[in-house]
Amino acid sequence: MTDSMVVRPRVVIVGAGFAGLWAAQGLADAPCDVTLVDRNNFHTFYPLLYQVAAAELGPTDIAYPVRSILRGQGVRFRMADVRGLDPDARVLRTDDGDIDYDVLVLALGSVPAFFGVEGAEEHAFPLRDMTHALPLRQEVLSRFERAAFESDPDRRRALLTFVIVGGGPTGVEYAGALAELVHGPLARDYPTIPDDEVRIVLLEGADRVLLAMHERLSAYAASRLQARGVEVRLDTMVTRIRDDGVDLADGSAIDSRTVVWTAGIQGDPMVRSWGLETGRGGRVVVDPTLQVPGRPELFVAGDLARALGGDGEPLPQVAPVAVQQGRHLAVAVKAHLSGESVPAFEYDDPGMLAVIGRNHAVADVFGRRFTGFLAWWLWALIHVAKLVGFRNRVLVLVNWAWNYIFFERAVRLILPIDDEALELHPEAERAERAEGGEARGAAADPPGETEVAEDAEEAGAAG
């Protein structure tokens, strides 16, 4: 048999996020045919997604074409939406046809988790991918346009009240960025709107924000948000979200036309119909090697994997975990294909950072804790260094410099967007496909009360 007749193993990777992309690049020199599948033709740098929603960066600043990233590496890309999986036949089903595989890597990422809060999925704006960030940016800017000519005081106050549910890193960073936007450029754009009429409320169900960080850093973040005009309400549980406001567990309510949901995430609910065992948060249970128990040819990584750390607790659903798992997968898949023992994944925690706004951030890195200007510089340098593509690094630096020097937001554009094309809740559509077309309101099977409470506490949710 000639070399041209040798059948090479087929490795299929689903998801062009951090885990999937890093795995694909690591397998570029392996003796196998690698195909990367994603519903989008671009990779998004999710840690800066909130800045797109806050009109600080444009979509192309943090997104990069997958084909450009993989050019010359021998990895094939296929733009397709996954519809199902037959693990026994080793077939991945997509809207662009079936894909056979010998080894499959699932790195689908995560979708918003609403913890059974009534009306959250229907009326709140999640902030998990680009199809969320762009409509949210449109919403915020459009509210100011309407408020500028609204004569009814109550309607005007509701239009200018922005509620953010969830005091984790995304909620805190978006609250700070939104405060800078509305009290800076928008205050100058709309001189007829008094600055004190704009209200930003951050709701957190725990007793502090940034629950995963040290108490001193949490306290600093909360104080800086308050100094920027953000109302930080702790120990506050949301019971219902309406199209015109938020109901709280203490019986009070907040009138608002814009509610942003950053309270938690879950694994893509579509995988539940594939016969894969999932744990809390819809994450697929995996062995220390990131393989599915009983299916050594199936690997799961990133937010979708319920991988355990050294303390026996699930690893956080953050970018550093996904990147390191992607690099590990390249080694693990090569070992599996060669019949060698697959090594276990070990996470090296680089620490955490969160920015509160201009000149202020919190950082728990290098074994030390920083706040203020130094933490802000560390946050900026680390994020720019990790962006994919030289062009994106330049664009982000230029935009940040422009915003910093001139107190401007150059991308506060209200563009025509097709809400059906940019569906606010794509995970609901996936759930319908997985469950045979059940009602849109159920993005996943409703968790039990205990699971809701545990997940809410773990995510710092206000629900």
Q: Is 432 annotated in the active site?
A: no
Burial of residue 416, with CB atoms counted within 10 A of its CB: 0-12 exposed, 13-18 middle, 19 or more buried: exposed
What whole-number distance in Å separates Cα of residue 34 and Cα of residue 98? 15
Q: What's the Cα-to-Cα distance from 314 to each of 2, 17, 113, 182, 449, rounded to whole Å? A: 47, 20, 17, 37, 20
Catalytic residue from among 56, 121, 139, 173: 173
DSSP calls for 376-417: HHHHHHHHHHHSSSHHHHHHHHHHHHHHHHH---TT------
What whole-number distance in Å separates Cα of residue 18 and Cα of residue 43? 8
CB atoms within 10 A of CB 123: 20
Amino acid in the structure at residue 248:
L
Alpha helix locations (H) across 97-168? 120-123, 130-147, 153-159
Q: What's the Cα-to-Cα distance from 96 to each of 86, 265, 352, 456, rounded to whole Å? A: 16, 28, 39, 37
What whole-number distance in Å separates Cα of residue 112 and Cα of residue 115? 9
Beta bridge partners of 370: 363
The residues assigned a catalytic role are 173
